[in-house]
Amino acid sequence: MLTHLDSQGRANMVDVTDKAVTSREAVAEARVRMLPATLAMIADGSHPKGDVFAVARIAGIQAAKKTSDLIPLCHPLMLTSVKVELQAEGVDCVRIQARCKLAGQTGVEMEALTAASVAALTIYDMCKAVDRGMTIETVRLLEKSGGKSGSFKLEDQVAGSPT
């Protein structure tokens, strides 16, 4: 059932008034592929624009807090925690993981996905002068917990998929 549509098929913000307040958490990731030389500049701190990871981390946190301004029909949420971690993966990739938490009536999946996406876009923005061929890939939800629908872990879904 698509809950963002009313009985006439019109866009509708879901009414969460009667939903229980529960502890909710979501983790999302994104990856940015780049030239090895670009990643080396980021890692050794020689990038001309400064600490790329620090700026991307702040951008991701700010984005999570602004998700309802960016995604139509998302509820504004009082996030209690947003963590954005960035790390080099191999010689040509940055892995971003965003974790959002709250006690509330609706989930935080969109906030985690938005944080990871905007952190990736920030890396692109800061590094585009030295590497226009970067790609942002694998933006996805890794896990969520809380609420009526319970828990989800991507690794469980992938492990249970037919091969």
69, 125, 131, 156: the catalytic one is 125
Query: Which residue would you say has higher pLDDT here, 10 or 125?
Result: 125
> What pLDDT score was predicted for residue 108?
96
Residue environment code for 117-148, b if the CB has 16+ CB neighbours within 10 A, otherwise e = bbbbbbbbebbeebbeebebeeeebbbbbbbe
Residue 129 has pLDDT above 50, yes or no: yes
Q: Are strands 152-153 and 135-145 parallel, antiparallel or unpaired?
A: antiparallel
For residue 11, what is the DSSP state?
B
Dihedral sign, CA of 116, 30, 86, 108? positive
- Per-residue model confidence as pLDDT tens digits over 82-93: 999 999 999 999
Residue environment code for 23-47, b if the CB has 16+ CB neighbours within 10 A, otherwise e = ebbbbbbbbbbbbeebbebbeeeeb
> What pLDDT score was predicted for residue 111?
98
- Per-residue model confidence as pLDDT tens digits over 59-84: 999 999 999 999 988 999 999 999 99
Residue 163 has pLDDT above 60, yes or no: no
pTM score: 0.89
pLDDT average, residue stretch 103-119: 95
- Per-residue model confidence as pLDDT tens digits over 33-46: 999 999 999 999 87
For the question of residue 125 being annotated catalytic, the response is yes
